[in-house]
Amino acid sequence: MSAQAARAFMSIGEVLEILRADFPDVTVSKIRFLEGEGLIEPQRSPSGYRKFTHADVERLRYILTAQRDRYLPLRVIKDHLMTAGPQDAPLGGPRPVGDPPAPEVRLTRPDLLEAAGLDEETLAELEDYGLITPVARWYDAEALTVARACGALAGFGLHPRHLRTLRAAAEREAGLVEQAVAPLMRRRAPGAAGQAEETAREISGLLQELRTALVRTGLRGILGR
């Protein structure tokens, strides 16, 4: 931890210096904007200068990461911070199948369109092919991951109608995991559910490795390598 971060209070310039290592584009104006939107509330000195704590810095780090890596709207980020806090709110890429669920992400349709950079027609097509399914009109973190990936693939000419086979393959893969853990799920012994969950994670990881290796093998044949 830097000397600035170790101090009780930091100026906005010192906070900027800490954050720029991971977020080169962050500016004083950006931090002030986030304060104006109510996402951070630094203390003020008697003369009106902002005073940031280490917790404020970690909150800013979470907000900037959520925007950069998850493309979440500020309203959604603010909801996460109010309900869970930066230490618990979901970040990062897609989780392996079988991992414990992250704190709930609830996106409206406009939120999902904004966060994934999709248009209404593409989202409707994804839903028609069963690649995305809202639950009670809400979209979760997995829906956002699918939407972002499908949006990027569309740039390579791969549209939802081309990707529907992936959904069928994913369902078959989930069926294999279910078949393997079913005996554990039927047990009444203490810890059986936890063992089944751990087994599902391990099998899921192995299946993902196998799938990746098979795709690479296929690509070698296509590319003549």
Q: What percent of the chain has pLDDT over 90?
A: 31
Residue 4 is predicted with a pLDDT of 47
- Domains defined along the chain, listed by start: 1-92 (1.10.1660.10), 163-223 (no CATH)
Provide mean pLDDT across the span 98-118.
Answer: 74
How many CB atoms sit inside 10 A of residue 84's CB? Answer: 14
Residue-wise DSSP of 93-147:
SPPPTTSPPPSP--B-HHHHHHHHT--HHHHHHHHHTTS---BTTBB-HHHHHHH
Provide mean pLDDT across the span 140-152.
Answer: 88
First CA to last CA across the chain, in angstroms? 47
Closest by CA position to 4, among listed 43, 59, 48, 54: 54
The more confident residue out of 105 and 7 is: 105
Provide mean pLDDT across the span 117-145.
Answer: 90
Average predicted confidence (pLDDT) for the chain: 83
Look-up of token digits 């098979």: 214
Q: What percent of the chain has pLDDT over 70?
A: 87
Q: Is the pTM of this model over 0.75?
A: no
